[in-house]
Amino acid sequence: MYAENKITSCANCARCWTNFRNLTEEELELINKNRYEATFKPSEIIIKQGSPASNAIFLISGLAKVYMEGYSGKNLILNLAEHSTLLAGPGAHVNARYTYSVAAITQVQACFINFDTIRKVISANPGFASGFIEDLSDKSFRLHQKILNLTQKKMHGRLAEALLYFADSIFRSDEFEMVLSRQELGEMTNMAKESVVRIIGEFENENIIHATPRSVKILDRDKLLVISEKG
């Protein structure tokens, strides 16, 4: 399942990770030589939690879900990832295992880059190392927010927030395709799928959103924001 329209080189890849801009031509060429491109179909697993973390994966295009496999088969979706995103997981620098799984939602085009190469470039280029630290910090920061949200908000707040996440961070529109099932929406907000259904119904009755199984339209963003903030 390799892509037809492959990227010819990192040097002219428009969707590459911003931090690659910090590299010299030679370094970029080193990355370019050591990358492998692949395409994934919806629902295919790109990264499997617990497996040896040998490669960082960059998303060139498509949408994927990042999730942890928890106890007794219960998943927790941490976030969605789109193009220009680096997926590595902190485990790479801790126990050489992927800390989370990643699965394609739409068709996904991705680059595999060996960690040895990444580490080499980190050691050689301080600017790149700093960029790497910023990226790690940003992800950690979001995780800190998420842990607060999941533990301190009630169901309505968590779901409202998830809907705003889709609108603001992923689709940049108040009307969007619902790419996750109710079950997955539950895995993202830490609630049962039945509760997701119920609360979406309530939001509809109050004319806050209009929802079908595969689409959502936010009608009253202000109300949704209040619900999201008040928990």
Residue 195 interacts, among DNA, a second copy, none and using kind-specific CB cut-offs from 5 to 8 Å, with DNA
**Cβ distance 66 to 100 under 8 Å?**
yes
In the complex, least distance from residue 94 CB atom to a second copy, rounded to whole angstroms: 5
Contact 108, 62 (CB under 8 A): yes
The answer to the question of residue 229 lying near DNA (CB under 7 A) is: no
Q: Is 190 in the site for DNA (CB under 7 A)?
A: yes
Tokens at residue 77, please? Answer: 């979706």
Q: Which of 181, 207, 210, 230 binds DNA (CB under 7 A)?
A: 181
Give the pair of three-digit tokens for residue 98. 């992927």
- Shortest approach of DNA to residue 51 CB, angstroms? 24
Exactly one of 105, 191, 209, 227 binds DNA (CB under 7 A); that residue is: 191
* Cα 107 to Cα 44: distance, rounded to the nearest angstrom: 9
214 belongs to the binding site for DNA (CB under 7 A)? yes
Q: Which contiguous run of DSSP H or E holds residue 189? A: helix 182-189
Quick one: what does residue 202 bind among DNA, a second copy, none, with the CB cut-off 5 to 8 Å set by partner type?
none
Angle between helices 193-205 and 182-189 (to 10 degrees): 100
- What are the C-alpha distances in Å from 22 to residues 16, 25, 46? 12, 10, 27
Please check whether residue 37 is in contact with residue 13, taking contact to mean a CB–CB distance below 8 angstroms. Answer: no
* Sites for DNA among residues 129-168 (CB under 7 A): 154-156
Between 14 and 73, whose beta carbon lies closer to DNA?
73
> Any contact of residue 30 with DNA (CB under 7 A)?
no
Residues that bind DNA (CB under 7 A): 154-156, 181-183, 190-195, 197-198, 200-201, 211-214
